Every structure is written in structure tokens, then in C-alpha cells.
Structure 1
Amino acid sequence: MLPVIETIALRQMASGDRLHLQLYKFIGARPGKKVYIQSNLHGAEIAGNAVIHQLIEFFLTINDTELTGEIWLVPVCNPMGTNERAHHFSPGRYCVYEAKDWNRIFWDYEKEADDLVAFTKSQVHIDLEVVRQNYLTRIKQQFAKILEKINSTSSVPYTNLFSYKLQNLSLDADYLIDLHSSTDQALEYLYYFRSREDSAKYFGFDFGILLDKYDGDAFDEAFIKPWLALEACFKELGREIKFDVEAWTLELGTGMQMNPDSVAKGVRGMKNYLAQKGVLQIPDLLDDTKTHEMTFTSSSNRKKYYAIAGGMIQSRIKLGSSVKAGEKLYQILSFNKEGKLPSVIDVFAGQDGLVYDVATNQAVNEGEFVLGIVS
């Protein structure tokens, strides 16, 4: 099956050169769900590009009868961040011009939906799929006002334009998957939202983090937050519903690397998820997820450790280690400027948990990130 390939103009630079996005659409023989998949929103997080490439190669080998619905893929979705360099390092986490995180700039309909209760009351006795279409229409109508601002003579900052381009592609998706990795070194895991645990198991990851606290400005949050709010509003009115709308952020290990194991885990999980959701009609792809043991925790259970003094990190506990409260995590070799000998400072865990993220740089200024633990 061949994709429809679209090249989307993104930005003209001062030099006159232009940046573009490339979209690959695989459209099945029968209508169904729309899946939107993107990678590399943060510049250093490149493993997802390899995942998308391998998915494209796989989709080329199947027939359109084996795909129900459509799958849209956007690799290298943020060329500005991807191209950013500082010597050998690829930062690209922030728009340096506007001082904003590239994944904290997205439009959240719920913040503007001041008539949600009235809308929900009008839909209490209506079929679920009709409710979805009615609500999506309202979201699209409000979203269209952004384009009016973009096309005005005063226009908008680039992050507004950029976020519009990505959300315009994904706003009407049923399933949204945003492929990330750590800025530093990390395990593979996923972020998920309320009451989506069963689907989370389809990816085959060892653990998932529930986003129980969020502001709605991240890509996955902005997509699903309006639907979660509508579900909650229906519940208050006595109707229990759950839309077949899902958003995921897959964290594929270490930044600035195309780790083969992380990529393979991402590809395998994506195929199984798409098969389990009925998008790919290929029984051989289905894994038995009922017996898969997956650990779930909440984002509020994450604890980041920051350097209590400047110096060099040594004897740091390994990534993936389980720790107990009181166990030594690392040492700081501190070279003071007080006429004293260098000192070694021991840092201990404040709680039990799993070391899931560690800093790449082992030279730290006071207050810089060293490692993260989730319990």
C-alpha cells in the first residue's frame, strides 16, 4: 500500500529558505478510526523518527484491505528544534526566541468552553457517536478563529503558527500518539490519561505514568483534555460514558540516540496497539496483553533530584535500579573555592522507587538535574 504524501509549508527564514513538514497518509479500504502519529517535537528526541520510518516500511508491505481507517504520520515534526545545535549537543527543547518549551504551546479548547454544562445537558439522551461529532464541530469552529489571527496583518508569534499547523492535522483524530524520548538518559515508558489503562497495556511497556496533574498546554493534553472534561460533565449529570478517544506520549529511552532496543520496542508496541484497536486487520500482530504485567503510577509520584552543590557526579546509581529510602543515590565531587580540600557529598534517596531518568552530563552546577525516581 502506498501513502499519500503531502508537503506542508511551515516557515520562511530570514535567508529566504523555507521549512516544511512531510505528512504520510495511509488510507485503508474501509472507513474507520483516524490515527495521528508524530515524532521529534523536542529537537534531541529522535528515536521516534526511526519508529515512524519502520512503520512506513511495514505499511508499504500490506494491502489496503488490512487497514481500516487511516494512519497519518509526521516524522521530524519540529524542524526548528531538530536543527538546533550547541557544539556536539542537540538541545532543541525550547523555542529560544520566545523562551517557550515546544511542548507547552498548544491550544486547549476546554479553557475557552464556558458553556460545557449547557452543551452536555443538550446531549444527555443522544447517541454517543452523535455527541462526539457535535462536540468536535464546536471544537473546530473555535479552532478556526486561530487562522483568522494568523492571516491578519499583525499575524501571531511563530509558536502559535507552529502549534496551529500540528493541531490542524490532528484535531479530528481518534487516537493520537506523540513519540518522545528523554532529553537525557531514560527507560522506555508511556504517559496516559484517566481510565485508559487497558489500552495502555497494548504497547507492551513495563510501566506507565498517569498524567493526573497537567495544564493542558502539552500536545497530548490539549488533544484529550476537552474529551475528559466532557466525560466528567456527563458523569455529574448521571450518564457514564467514555469516548473512544485516546492520547499517548511514548518515551523511547535516551535523547540524541537511535537506540535499536528502544526503537524496536516502540515499533512492536505501535503495531500491537493498532491491531488491538482494529485499525490494522492483521491477526498475526496481536500480542497477548492480558498476561503482560505493567506497573502504573501517577505523575505526582515522580521525584526529581537536583544538585545540592556544584561539582562532578560520581558513583551514581544505574538507570533502571530500584532504590529504597535512605539508599545512596550518588556523590558530588565538589571543588570549593574556600581554601579547603575538595569534598565528597553523599546524596540519599528520600523514598522507595525506580530510577527512570538520569542526566547525561555528570558535571553539574548547583540546582541542576541529576536523576529522577518514580514510586
Structure 2
Amino acid sequence: MIPVISTIPVVQLASGDRLSLQVYQFRGAVPGKKAYIQSNLHGAEISGNAVIHQLIQLLMSLDSDRLIGEIWLVPVCNPVGVNVRSHHFSPGRYNHYDGADWNRIFWDFEKAGEDIQAFAKSQIDRDADTIKCNYRKEIALSFAKQLAKINAPSCRPYNEIYRYKLQSLCLDADYVLDLHSSTNQAVDYIYCFSSRQESAKAFLLDRGIVFDEYDGDAFDEAFLKPWLALEKSLAELGSAIVFDVEAWTLELGSGMQMNPESVSKGLRGIKNYLASKGLLKIEGFPLPETAAHPIILTDKKSVHKYYSPAGGMIQGRVQLGSFVKEGDRLYQILSFNKNGELPSLVEVCAESDVFVFDVSTNQSANQGEYVLSVLVRSRDFSPRIDAD
């Protein structure tokens, strides 16, 4: 297959130069569902770009009858964030103009004030496919109002211009995959919604974090939250419909790196997921072990961050991916002082049994700065017994 390649201008700089998005659209011989996959929403989180490159190569090697539906791929989806530099480092998590997190700016149909309950009542006697089609039209009509504001003489801030361009690519998608990495150093895992856990197995990752609450500002949340709200309204009216609409955030390794193992896991999982959903017909996929894949899912409220109790240098920190028992050491702070005393070692121990899944890149910390993140407790979503 040969993709349709589109270049979409996003912002004109003071110099006159323009920053753009590039979209690779693969369409199969037979119409079907749409998968939308993007990477690098946070500037330092680059591993998803390698995954998308390999997906492009894979799809170009296939005949069009191997794809049922369409797949849209958007690498380096945040050109402003990607281009931010501080010495040798690539931050790009926050908009340097207003300080907002690039993944907390997105438009949410539910927050737009639309009456989802009234829509559900108007559709209660219709089948799921008809409701889905009609709801997409409602979302599109509401979203289109944003363009009028952008085109007004007063215009809108850049983050609203940017989000409009990016979200317009996926409003009609069935499956949205947002590829991230840790800003620091982390294991590979996935974020998922509580009503979609079964599908999480298809990504073949060991760990997942389940949203127990969300505000709709993140990219995956803004896409799926309106559909979850509609399902809830229909259920209250006695219609237990679950739409085949899903959104995922894959966290593939560490920031500022394209770790080959994380890239390989991401590519394998996405291939397996797309095959499981019937979009891709490729030999060996979906893997037969998918249904029994042992993924350990943890509620998001069980994520706990540790901040440095003193200024100094981090040493003796446990390895990423370690299980640590309550009371055992997580790390030490080599703390210097200006009191005429010798340097001291500050021991930081686990407050409970934990799994360490994210650690800071910098091993120098001021008091109150981030050091690591842990999963406090987990619940199995498979036959596997978790050691923590």
C-alpha cells in the first residue's frame, strides 16, 4: 500500500516560517473502522516516532486487501514541543508561553455543554450503529464551532489553534492510540479506561494503569469521555450498549530515547491490537495467547510519587521495575550542608509494599523535587499472581 501523505500547517512563526503536521493515511481495499495513531505529544517523548516509522514500513509492504478500513499515522504531532531545547536536553512537556501541559489542553464534547442525556433519550429505540453515526455528527457540529472562534478577528491562543488541528484528524476514528514515554525513565505500560480493560490484553504489555477518574483534558480522555458519558446515559435508560470505540495511551520507555526494546514492544502490541480489532490481516496475528495475556492493572489513585525530603544527590536507588517491601530502602540522599558539619546520608524507605515504575533522570535534587513513582497496590486482570 502507498499512503496518502498530507502536510497540515499548524502555526506561522514570527520569522515567517511555518510548523506543520504530516499525516500518513493508509486505506484498505475494503472500508471499515478507522485507527488513529500519534506520537511525540510531549517534546522529549520520542520513542513512538520509531514505532510509527516501522508501522509505515509494515503497511507499505502489505497489499491493500490486508487492511480492512484505514489507519492514520501522525509522528512528531507537536512540532512546537518537539523543537524546544535547553542545552542538550529536550523538555517540551509544557507550553513555554503559558505553562500548560501539552496533554491537558484538549476540547471535550461533554464540557462544551451539550445535553448528552437528551440525545440518549432521542436515540433509545435505535440500534447501536445508528446511534454511533448520529452521535458522531453531534460531536462534529459542536467541534466545528471552535473554528469560527479561531477565524474571528480576535483569534484564539495557539493551544486552541493547535488542538483544533490535531483533534480534527481523529474525531471520526474508532480507535485512538497516543504514544508517549516517560519524561524521566520508566518501564513500558499502558493507560486504559475502566470499561475497556479486556482490550488492554491485546497490547501484550505487563502493566497497565486504569483511570478511576479523569477530567477530559488529556488527548485520550477528550476522545473517549463523551462516548463513556453516552453509554452511561443509555444504561440509565435501560439500554446497555458499549460502543466499539476505544482510546489508549502507551507509555514506551524513557524520555529523550528511542529504546529498541520499548519500540519493539510497542510495535508488536499495536500490530496485535489492530489485528484483534480486525483491521489488519497479517500472518501470526492476533497472537493466540492474547486472550490469556497476564496484564496487571492498577487503579490510577494507587500511583504514589516520592519527592526528596532534603537537597542533595540521589544514590543507592533501587532499580527501575523493582518490588520494594514496606520499610525497605528506596534510595538515599547524599546531603551536604552549610552548618559546619560533615555530609549526611538520608535514607528514604517505602511507606508500603510498592512497585517502582518511574524514576527521575537527574540524580541531583533540591528538597521537594521529584525522585520516583510507585504503584502502591495492584489487582490482577489475569491468572498471573503479582508478587507485590
TM-score, with structure 1 as normaliser = 0.99
- Taking the aligned partners of 2:173 and 2:90, their CA distance within structure 1 comes to 31
CA pair 119-41 structure 1, distance change in 2 beyond 3 A: same
**Secondary structure at the residue paired with 1:235?**
helix
Equivalent residue, structure 1, for 2:327: 326
- Equivalent residue letter for 1:196: R
Equivalent residue, structure 2, for 1:295: 296
Alignment partner of 1:64 is 2:64: yes
Equivalent residue, structure 2, for 1:78: 78
Q: Any stretches of 5+ residues in structure 1 without a counterpart?
A: none
Equivalent residue, structure 2, for 1:247: 247
> How far did residue 291 of structure 1 move?
2.6
- Equivalent residue letter for 1:58: L
**Secondary structure at the residue paired with 1:170?**
coil
Equivalent residue, structure 1, for 2:382: none
Equivalent residue, structure 2, for 1:348: 349
- Equivalent residue letter for 1:232: K
- Equivalent residue letter for 1:17: D
- Equivalent residue letter for 1:344: L
> How far did residue 336 of structure 1 move?
1.4
Alignment partner of 1:214 is 2:206: no
Deviating more after overlay: 210-219 vs 355-364: 210-219
- Taking the aligned partners of 2:365 and 2:214, their CA distance within structure 1 comes to 28
What does 1:1-375 align with in structure 2 at a 5 Å threshold? Answer: 1-287=1-287, 288-374=289-375, 375=377
CA contact (8 A) 1:275 1:283 kept: no
> How far did residue 283 of structure 1 move?
4.2
- Taking the aligned partners of 1:62 and 1:113, their CA distance within structure 2 comes to 44
- Taking the aligned partners of 1:321 and 1:95, their CA distance within structure 2 comes to 33
Query: Which structure 1 residue ranges, 4+ long, deviate > 6 Å from structure 2?
Result: none
**Secondary structure at the residue paired with 1:45?**
coil
**Secondary structure at the residue paired with 1:234?**
helix
Identity %: 61
- Taking the aligned partners of 1:289 and 1:119, their CA distance within structure 2 comes to 36
> How far did residue 211 of structure 1 move?
1.1
- Taking the aligned partners of 1:235 and 1:73, their CA distance within structure 2 comes to 34
> How far did residue 361 of structure 1 move?
0.1
**Secondary structure at the residue paired with 2:168?**
helix
CA-to-aligned-CA distance 1:256-311 (integer Å, 9 cap, x gap): 00100000000000100000000002242221212311101111010000111111
CA contact (8 A) 1:43 1:84 kept: yes
- Equivalent residue letter for 1:248: W
Deviating more after overlay: 118-127 vs 165-174: 118-127
CA-to-aligned-CA distance 1:161-195 (integer Å, 9 cap, x gap): 01111100011100000000000000000000122
- Equivalent residue letter for 1:107: W
- Equivalent residue letter for 2:342: L
- Taking the aligned partners of 1:81 and 1:203, their CA distance within structure 2 comes to 27
CA-to-aligned-CA distance 1:356-375 (integer Å, 9 cap, x gap): 00000000011111000012
CA contact (8 A) 2:38 2:77 kept: yes
**Secondary structure at the residue paired with 2:238?**
coil
CA-to-aligned-CA distance 1:325-362 (integer Å, 9 cap, x gap): 11110011111122222111101111212100000000
CA-to-aligned-CA distance 1:125-181 (integer Å, 9 cap, x gap): 110011111111111111001000110111000000011111000111000000000
Deviating more after overlay: 285-294 vs 28-37: 285-294
- Taking the aligned partners of 1:111 and 1:326, their CA distance within structure 2 comes to 44
CA-to-aligned-CA distance 1:185-212 (integer Å, 9 cap, x gap): 0000000012211111000000111011
- Taking the aligned partners of 2:242 and 2:53, their CA distance within structure 1 comes to 32
CA-to-aligned-CA distance 1:75-121 (integer Å, 9 cap, x gap): 00011111111111100001010111000000011112442221111
CA contact (8 A) 2:326 2:351 kept: yes
**Secondary structure at the residue paired with 1:255?**
coil
- Taking the aligned partners of 1:2 and 1:301, their CA distance within structure 2 comes to 44
CA contact (8 A) 2:252 2:263 kept: yes
- Taking the aligned partners of 2:321 and 2:327, their CA distance within structure 1 comes to 17
**Secondary structure at the residue paired with 1:100?**
coil
- Equivalent residue letter for 1:340: E
**Secondary structure at the residue paired with 2:371?**
strand
- Taking the aligned partners of 1:117 and 1:58, their CA distance within structure 2 comes to 42
Equivalent residue, structure 1, for 2:385: none
> How far did residue 10 of structure 1 move?
0.9
Aligned CA-pair RMSD: 0.9
- Equivalent residue letter for 1:322: F
- Equivalent residue letter for 1:343: S
CA contact (8 A) 2:202 2:291 kept: no
